[in-house]
Amino acid sequence: MKLRNINDIQSLPSVLGLKELNQYLIQLIEILENDNTISQAQAAEEINNLISYQCFNEEGLSEETSLKILNWIKSNYEPQNKDSIECNSGSLANLNCYGVEEFINERIEKSNWEFEKNELVDCLKEIKESKNGGE
């Protein structure tokens, strides 16, 4: 199945293999880049929700998929929107590419909002724990 719009996500099985998940996430990013009727907070939520369709695995998302998501987040991040921050933090914690921690640290440095800072600090902790095997 090819995603034509975000409503197609509802037709997907609730658990996807990693290869399928990567394909659907890339398709979703392409949809979001071409559909300006979807709010950035809703788009961030859709990305985060679709990431949660993955089975438990050690491998995680592909670097290509991770970079696409990171680039989308960088372009669409809303630092004053609580929902956007929460969803994007959840997505960032699941990415496997260079630049994620740098982006998070830059946002922490620039932010004047404790909520955003705390969310991103927690995200960094989650990333570091996953790199250390959950220790």
User: pLDDT tens across 7-32, in order?
Assistant: 999 999 988 999 999 999 999 999 99
Q: CA 127, CA 62: separation in Å to the nearest integer? A: 16
Note the pLDDT tens digit of each residue in 29-53: 999 999 989 999 999 999 999 999 8
Q: What is the mean pLDDT of the chain?
A: 94
For residues 61 and 25, the answer to whether their CB atoms sit within 8 Å is: yes
Length of the chain: 135
**pLDDT score for 131:** 82
For residues 65 and 97, the answer to whether their CB atoms sit within 8 Å is: no
**pLDDT score for 54:** 84
DSSP label at 112? -
User: Per mean pLDDT, which range of 5-14, 76-85, 125-134 is the poorest?
Assistant: 125-134
Determine whether 8 is exposed, middle or buried from the number of CB atoms within 10 Å of its CB (0-12, 13-18, 19+).
middle
Would the pLDDT of 105 be above 80? yes
Enter the pTM of the model. 0.94
Q: Residue 16: which of 56, 44, 45, 48 has the closest Cα?
A: 56
How large a percentage of the chain has pLDDT more than 90? 85
